Amino acid sequence: MNRTTKQRMLPMDYQYYISAWIYKVLRYADRDFARFLHEKGYGQDAPKLYKLFCFSPLEFGKPILWKEKKLFEISAQEIALHLSFNVPEAASNFIKGLFMQQSFYLGDKFNGIDFAVTQVEALAEPSFSDTMRYHLATPWVVSYQSDQDKYPQYLSPGDDRFLSLAVRHLVEKYNNTSNGVKISDGQMKLNLTTPYKRAGFVMKPGTREESRVIGNLFDFELSAPVEVHRMIWNAGVSEKSSSGFGWGDMK
């Protein structure tokens, strides 16, 4: 993507605006499909609905950080973004075409940047194995909400429940979105290979629904059926993947 105007300031919590733009592109192509993604995902259990895409952080070099204003000042002219969709291979060219020559504004009513998509390239699928290592580029969200909790608890790996709930989420996400053989928790093993760091984004900024979702950044090793690794490649590893969480790069 290229910046098309002189604007340089981008809100730090830009992930919400990227997600909204992706839904907008899908909506123009297929209103029913986009509405289904936005409202339902592929989940069968209302509190645990999953979406079909994930995206990386923007690649914009080394911006100037205006911490007190929660803004990035971006000088790079060319910006890159990776998107992944958990759709059949036959749909990849269709999706690629959707984003060609898109022009859009990214930001809020006070700060943002006008972009034009100048190139779209489909990446080759990697070679998957049963055990793979990942580096999280965006936080992995693991939440827990009891009947007594008004709001979700966003767990850290220091919580005894984190690993089991993280694995359970992956199992449910796979079983709810695939047409193949169902898997179980016992087929998965998750190990952190670096210390974790807490991180998060603001969702729906400037609205009455504004909230901050907190996850964790770390490297990890996962042993699981190959199809689970393919799902992670296509749809992210975390809850709220369509909001920009759980993008993992394979090491």
Decide if pLDDT at 83 tops 70.
yes
Residue 135's Cβ-side half-sphere holds a number of Cα atoms within 13 Å equal to: 4
**Mean pLDDT estimate for the chain:** 89
pLDDT tens across 162-202, in order?
999 999 999 998 998 887 789 999 999 999 999 999 999 99
Q: Which domains does the chain have, with CATH numbers?
A: 2-116 (3.30.70.1890), 131-250 (3.30.70.1900)
Q: How many Å apart are CA 183 and CA 172, to the nearest integer?
A: 9
Which helix (H) or strand (E) segment holds residue 212: the answer is strand 211-217
Q: How many Å apart are CA 140 and CA 55, to the nearest integer?
A: 13
> 200 has which bridge partners?
214
Q: CA separation (Å) from 215 to 84, 193, 240? A: 20, 17, 10
Q: How many Å apart are CA 235 and CA 231, to the nearest integer?
A: 6
Question: Is the CB of residue 26 less than 8 Å from the CB of residue 33?
Answer: yes
Cβ contacts of residue 132 below 8 Å, gap of 6+?
A: 221, 222, 229, 250
Q: How many Å apart are CA 46 and CA 193, to the nearest integer?
A: 33
pLDDT tens across 102-155, in order?
999 999 999 999 999 999 998 888 999 999 999 999 999 999 998 888 888 999
Decide if pLDDT at 44 tops 60.
no
Q: Say what the pTM is.
A: 0.88
Q: Is 119 buried (19+), middle (13-18) or exposed (0-12) by CB count in 10 A?
A: exposed
